[in-house]
Amino acid sequence: MSAKRIGPRDDLALMEGYHSPQVDVAVRLNTNESPYPPPAAFGERLAAAVADVQWHRYPDRAAVELRTRIGALHGVGRDSVFAANGSNEVLQTLLLTYAGFGRTVATFEPTYALHAHIARLCGAGVIEGERDDNFVLHLDEIDRVLAEGDPRVLFLCSPNNPTGREEPRDLVEAVLDRMTDRGGLLVVDEAYGQFASWSAVDLITEDTPLVVTRTYSKTWSMAAARLGYLVGPRWVVAELDKVVLPYHLDVLKQRAGVIALDLAQDMEHRVAAVVAERDRVLGELADLAVDVWPSGANFVLFRPQRRSGPEVWNSLLAHGVLVRNCASWPRLDGCLRVTIGTPAEDDEFLAALKEAL
């Protein structure tokens, strides 16, 4: 008897998943995590919290304490905060709620690949706008995309992954005006917001369709915990609460998120240290045979001038340094992206790079 094997939905059949090799090397500078583990007090308090958990009960479905504390961090009430398993789940819930079949989502490439990927998984169409050769986004291109695609949801990523650029405030305000007029939603992905010079959180009101997504993964040294959130109008958060699975945030994660906020000052020191390191690495790269672009994030994009991106990537790996190979990604021909590490890791990267070039 010959069995027929079921395939995925027709519209998913040609899709690729998320690719980032997890190679075991000494210096891992490929996924934009914090180079520092959380402070020792974090582990101690979390261990105490574990002992305290009522494992036979479901967690607080509304995650009241966590959302209240995140809200306090941003000067808003808990009804303006939605939290989920990594900001990727925040993005997925947003797109399940506001995109889907018959609706279009706009991205400006190159940018975080999961915006378009999750939109397609949700059944939405995607219209891709372009940046100029230096990865700057212009308002006339945004207007073209709005006119051609009439997107319900428009993504900006600031600082943008993988280019590092921040979007200027006047551009974000201009896009918000347009999405307000059109009855759309503007999503500003601020996964790297704490490393940047300004935040779109300040633009959020009840009367404008703007949400800002954030994550504990990068700044807060908590990539392993999978926790992210958004701040936005209460009417958006209320819709997301209907769509997300009940009890999606387990009790330990809720505790971990609150404990991290108790240690916010330590976290701020880490951010300051990473920003100082970023500026040092940018300065060093400026003297080497690479093209390099400004960064408001905890990583830097660069393009070797004399050797190909993959050659340099392989040479770095041979020296025990793993960076992100973007060389074959559309619009990023020959580019590599390095996450800012500890000063010692960055020195190893810079030494290996000098040899590789």
Ligand X SMILES: *Cc1c(COP(=O)(O)O)cnc(C)c1O
H/E element holding 333? none
Instruction: Answer yes or no whether residue 42 interacts with ligand X by CB under 6 A.
Output: no
Stretch touching ligand X by CB under 6 A, among 81-89, 166-174, 251-259, 338-346: 81-89
Q: Shortest Cβ distance from residue 263 to ligand X (Å)?
A: 18
User: Which residue of 38, 86, 309, 341 would you call a contact of ligand X, by CB under 6 A?
Assistant: 86
The amino acid at 171: L
User: Which residue of 27, 66, 157, 323 would you call a contact of ligand X, by CB under 6 A?
Assistant: 157
User: Which residue of 189, 345, 346, 348 would you call a contact of ligand X, by CB under 6 A?
Assistant: 189
Do residues 111 and 128 touch, judged by C-beta distance below 8 A?
Answer: no
CA–CA dist 139, 87 (Å, integer):
27
Cβ-proximal residue to ligand X, closest one:
86
CA dist list (Å): 123 to 103, 168, 211, 278: 8, 31, 21, 38
Stretch touching ligand X by CB under 6 A, among 83-91, 202-210, 279-287, 334-342: 83-91
CA–CA dist 76, 71 (Å, integer):
5
Q: Shortest Cβ distance from residue 156 to ligand X (Å)?
A: 10
Which is nearer to ligand X, 86 or 257 (by Cβ)? 86
Residue among 278, 356, 277 nearest 317 (CA): 356
Angle (CA) 90-94-98 rounded to 5° is 175
129: number of Cβ within 10 Å: 22
Both tokens of residue 221?
A: 């040294």
H/E element holding 235? helix 234-243
User: Which residue of 42, 82, 98, 112 would you call a contact of ligand X, by CB under 6 A?
Assistant: 112
Instruction: Answer yes or no whether residue 220 interacts with ligand X by CB under 6 A.
Output: no
Q: Shortest Cβ distance from residue 278 to ligand X (Å)?
A: 15
197: number of Cβ within 10 Å: 10
Which is nearer to ligand X, 209 or 228 (by Cβ)? 228
User: Which residue of 80, 88, 104, 158 would you call a contact of ligand X, by CB under 6 A?
Assistant: 88
What is the DSSP-derived secondary structure letter of residue 200?
G
Binding mask 247-276 for ligand X (x = CB under 6 A): ------------------------------
Instruction: Answer yes or no whether residue 215 interacts with ligand X by CB under 6 A.
Output: yes
Which is nearer to ligand X, 162 or 334 (by Cβ)? 162
φ, ψ at 255 (rounded to 5°):
-65, -45
Q: Shortest Cβ distance from residue 4 to ligand X (Å)?
A: 36
CA–CA dist 332, 231 (Å, integer):
31
Binding residues (CB under 6 A) for ligand X: these are 32, 86-88, 112, 157, 161, 189, 191, 215, 217, 223, 228
